[in-house]
Amino acid sequence: METPPCSDVWELISKDRRSLKHVHDNVHGNIYLEPLFMKFIDTPQFQRLRDLKQLGLTHMVYPGAVHSRFEHSLGVYWLAGEAINKITAYQGLELEIEHDDIKTVKLAGLLHDVGHGPFSHLFEREVMSMGPGGNIWSHENMSVKMIEYMVDENNIDIDPETLKRVKDMITCSPKDVLLTSLKPKSFLYDIVANGRTGIDVDKFDYIVRDSRACGLGCNFQFERLMESMRVMDNQICYRAKDYLTIHKLFATRADLHRTVYTHAKVKAIELMVVDALRKADSSYQIVSRAFRPSQFWKLDDSILKAIETSSEPELKEAKDLITRIRRRDLYKFCNEFSVPKEEIDNFKAITPKDIICSQKSGHTSLTEEDVAVSNVKIDLTRGTDNPLQSIKFFKDYESSDTFHIEDDRISHLLPAFYQDTIVRVYSKKPELVEAVSAAFENFQLKTYGMKKQVHETPEKKKRRR
């Protein structure tokens, strides 16, 4: 049985309004900021998040998607506070939640994205792969370094143990589940970045915020899960009747990836920006700066404008690519196919070399520089596995048992497979669309014995010059 709220609990979650700062957010309404959090917010390193668009280059296809990492971070801070306050109100005495636990969770929510680079996830996925050590770089690990730098640089007085827990909450991932589960009060690590189940307030905020910014509807209601969640066996569990609500969380996220984050035009622009940054890296040392917090915090989305307005001759090729983006002279999408599900586990990313090696003799001769390939993976957060299998459910608030639920016990309309891998091919020059499309079709025939694309590349696109 849960303990009803009492005076000790209210003392934990109550605040002195005289010391609070008030912000009105267009998603969550009134957000209140306590003095400790303002010490981090009022630093150049945190204010930098205003100059990082939450969805990177997506605003060039969805014009409303200009919201920033700054407002998302405030949103996650607020939801992290709401989540831990609800748990405290219902189970605070039972779980021995202390004021420092609440403070730590909220601070992790506030600072979880301070290590993001320009252009959202494109930076770590593509830009950082250009240099040595880039394949192990992650925004979560960079957030840890940035937090340490912010504390030192701005002389923020904070308990070292609290800071360590904040960093652990941010870097919690599926591969750390066993280690996390051994920590005292490990349920606290389920709130901001949930490595166990993937249900966390980071997703709650960006799903609603991104949907609204892009003008899309959002049927997922995180408030239902926030109200009904319960800590059992030292982890956050959910009522069995909320199974479909949780499925909608993962399905909505996957739909945003399909229709917004990996939109074919968005990917075309991203490919061009990566090429431009690759050509400009020797001048701006983008990759090497990303390993040093003292330099990294000076990197933001404005780097494109810096390249575009530079008078340096060595930046001409990079500038030309940015000019093409401004004039909507984008890499031309030729076609795509979905990798057969039986091939996904052993799928190896397709490269431009794979495409040009599939040219037929007698066609226009292509080089690797003429072709761009995007390998897109969309899943429900756990690859080919069903994420709901990692979640513990309970019957009602009278029960003390937890259990897992199989999909077919709920509905036969739920998916039987949980991951898509899509291969898209682009021509960097409009006059080569026909040749690239033909090579791509031949690649499919050689690899799968048949064309996997849904239809031929439209003739109109082939003729476009």
Distances (CA, A) of 451 to 332, 373, 433: 20, 17, 17
Distances (CA, A) of 336 to 3, 280, 382, 450: 55, 29, 24, 14
**Sequence-ordered list of residues with C-beta below 8 angstroms from that of 370, at least 6 positions apart, any chain:** 352, 356, 427, 428, 429, 432, 436
- The Cα 386–Cα 147 span in angstroms is 34
- The Cα 51–Cα 303 span in angstroms is 10
Strands 235-239 and 393-394, bridge-based pairing: parallel
Catalytic residue list? 139
- The Cα 253–Cα 276 span in angstroms is 29
Strands (E) across 89-137 are located at none
Residue whose entry in the numeric block shows the structure tokens 């940035």: 146
Residue whose entry in the numeric block shows the structure tokens 């403070």: 103
Distances (CA, A) of 132 to 128, 137, 288, 400: 8, 10, 9, 51
Q: Are 259 and 414 in contact (CB under 8 A)?
A: no
**Sequence-ordered list of residues with C-beta below 8 angstroms from that of 420, at least 6 positions apart, any chain:** 258, 338, 339, 376, 377, 378, 379
**Sequence-ordered list of residues with C-beta below 8 angstroms from that of 180, at least 6 positions apart, any chain:** 168, 172, 186, 189, 195, 196
DSSP, collapsed to helix, strand or coil, labels residue 420 as: strand
- The Cα 76–Cα 211 span in angstroms is 16
